[in-house]
């Protein structure tokens, strides 16, 4: 599956997030900076989107936990947009901030991907 994280701050924030995620063992080798859309008054795009190749539900959970840890260390009000796509028709689009509930976001992502292995979910 492919995940794109857009920072609302700047290309500097995107670089910081990419560096942070590259230190996570489960994500190592799958994190890169990619260009966002070209603005009308610019010659080219800025590398302000973080692209991550994620293998499955467990790695998605690690990614989301890592993103929330990073958000928790950013100034209040920092927001990210998460776009996740797996195969045809399985897409998730979420706007995240440090005020959001990490476990709830993990549940949303795994449910959208059809993965019932949410480690934070209470047994029924």
- Residue 59, domain member (yes or no): yes
**Residue 7: inside a domain:** yes
| Structural domains counted in the chain | 1
DSSP run (H or E) holding 70: helix 57-72
Let me know if residue 118 belongs to a domain: no
Q: Give me the DSSP letters along 25-38.
A: GGGTTSEEEE--PP
Examine residue 55 and state whether it is found in any structural domain, yes or no. Answer: yes
What per-residue confidence (pLDDT) applies to 92? 86
Range of the domain at 100: 2-37+46-112
- Tokens at 62, concatenated: 């690690």
pLDDT for res 118: 47
Q: Is residue 98 part of a domain?
A: yes
Contact between 82 and 3 under an 8 Å Cβ cutoff? The reply is yes
Paired tokens of 2: 């492919």
| Residue 18 belongs to a domain | yes
Q: What is the pLDDT of residue 121?
A: 46
pLDDT of residue 123: 37
Does 11 reside within a domain? Answer: yes
Enumerate residue ranges in the chain where pLDDT < 70: 9, 36-47, 56-57, 115-124
Determine, yes or no, domain membership for 120: no
């Amino acid at each position: 599956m492919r995940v794109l994280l857009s920072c609302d701050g700047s290309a500097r924030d995107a670089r910081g997030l990419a560096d942070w995620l590259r230190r996570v063992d489960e994500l190592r080798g799958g994190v890169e900076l990619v260009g966002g859309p070209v603005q009308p008054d610019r010659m080219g795009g800025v590398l302000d989107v973080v692209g991550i190749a994620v293998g499955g539900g467990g790695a998605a959970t690690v990614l989301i936990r890592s993103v929330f840890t990073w958000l928790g260390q950013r100034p209040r009000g920092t927001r990210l947009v998460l776009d996740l796509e797996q195969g045809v028709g399985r897409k998730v689009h979420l706007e995240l901030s440090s005020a959001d509930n990490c476990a709830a976001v993990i549940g949303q992502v795994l449910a959208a991907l059809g993965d019932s292995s949410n480690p934070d979910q209470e047994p029924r």
